[in-house]
A and B are shown apart, each in its own frame.
Chain A
């Protein structure tokens, strides 16, 4: 791990924070990606337009970067597609049941010092760490 990677992390993170701050200051909405997407999938979706616009912005970011010469993100995912599908189902269902994901609870919730979000983040980080430990190192660690 290189210091440049960590600096990029800090700078990229600051941009994420800037986006979350700007969304609240300008539109009054919280930048929680699962909530923004999930709000489009309820039986009677409300205020669709800003949600679609935010998601379009997320997808447009790598497309604009590609115009500037960057490669489109095509992450190497070693797992088979069945496991990827299970992971997607769990992430979708779990983030709605728990009212948030890494952005809504992890970033915005910590920034608001919300006990609910801090508990949710500690729990999902713990579950994720355990899952990776079992997958990569087996039951014995």
Chain B
């Protein structure tokens, strides 16, 4: 059941990305290009997404546990550290170069176009590269379903 629910959520998430136009890198770059013909769509997507998820999260906080799991795995970290900022800078540069971030990259994979395959392949290598990077935080060794893991991941 948990697997099916997760699949359904991925499906709805993907549909939202397609309907909003965010799978089209031109629309994303149009938003990021504040000196060009600015396209405000991404701001509307964010507003819709944040409003509905905030309402859902507020509901979740009033419940003791999720429907199909023992506990809510809310991120617990609050510190603003160097890896957070440096990682965001690197991510932002990559996002700005072609206008694709992880969600739209995976949805676009269904079209099997060469640039998307190259992007997703490189993204996976980049993620593995971070795991192998000596300077990373030494917290991911513990990958059991414990609060420590939830605490590490913001998203």
Do A and B associate with each other? yes
Binding site for B on A (CB under 8 A): 1, 5-35, 37-39, 41-47, 49-51, 53-66, 70, 72-77, 79, 81, 83-112, 114-117, 119-121, 123-133, 135-137, 141
A14-B49, A17-B55, A57-B9 known; 8 new pairs, CB 8 Å cut-off, are A19-B12, A60-B10, A94-B93, A96-B127, A98-B91, A107-B53, A111-B50, A120-B87
Residues on the A chain within 8 Å of B136, using CB: 97
**Residue ID in chain B nearest A81 by CB atoms:** B118
Partner of A105, one of B17, B25, B154: B154
Q: Is the CB of B19 within 8 A of A8?
A: yes
| Closest Cβ–Cβ distance, residue B45 to chain A (whole Å) | 4
How distant is A63 from chain B, measured CB to nearest CB, in Å? 5
* A116 / chain B contacts, CB cutoff of 8 Å: 75, 77-80, 84, 154
Kindly identify, within residues 22 to 47 of chain B, every residue whose CB is under 8 Å from any CB belonging to chain A: 22-26, 29, 32-37, 39-47
Contact B44 A104, beta carbon cutoff 8 Å:
no
Are B88 and A127 closer than 8 Å at their CB atoms? Answer: yes
Q: State whether B129 touches A17 (Cβ < 8 A).
A: no
Assess whether A123 is in contact with B85, with CB atoms less than 8 Å apart. yes
Within 8 A of A (CB), among B96-127: 96-98, 100-103, 105-116, 118-127
Q: Are A97 and B24 in contact, CB atoms less than 8 angstroms apart?
A: no
A58/B125 in contact, CB under 8 A: no
* Contact assessment for B154 and A93 in the assembled complex, using a CB-CB cutoff below 8 Å: no
Question: With contacts A46-B143, A46-B149 known, is A17 near B48, CB below 8 A?
Answer: yes
CB distance from A84 to the nearest CB of B (A): 5
- Whether B12 pairs with A84 at a CB distance below 8 angstroms is no
> How far is it, in angstroms, between the C-alpha of A13 and the C-alpha of B17 when the chains are bound?
7
Contact of B107 among A62, A126, A127 (CB under 8 A): A62
CB distance B113 to A99 under 8 Å? no
Q: Closest residue to A32 on the B side, CB-wise?
A: B155
The answer to whether A92 and B124 touch across the interface, beta carbons within 8 angstroms, is: yes
Are the C-beta atoms of A37 and B102 separated by less than 8 Å? yes
Q: Give the distance in Å from the alpha carbon of A64 to the alpha carbon of B8 in the complex.
A: 12
Contact check, B108 vs A10: say whether CB atoms are below 8 A apart: no
**Do B49 and A17 touch (CB < 8 A)?**
yes
Q: Could you say which residues of chain A place their CB within 8 Å of the CB of B26?
A: 75-76
Measured CA separation A14–B28 after assembly (Å)? 17
A-B contact pairs, 23 of them (CB 8 A): A12-B48, A23-B9, A26-B68, A28-B73, A30-B155, A31-B155, A33-B101, A53-B6, A73-B23, A75-B26, A77-B100, A77-B115, A85-B119, A90-B126, A91-B95, A92-B128, A94-B90, A102-B95, A108-B154, A111-B53, A123-B85, A123-B92, A125-B32
A45 and B141 alpha carbons, distance in the complex (Å): 10
Flag if A13 contacts B49 (CB, 8 Å): yes
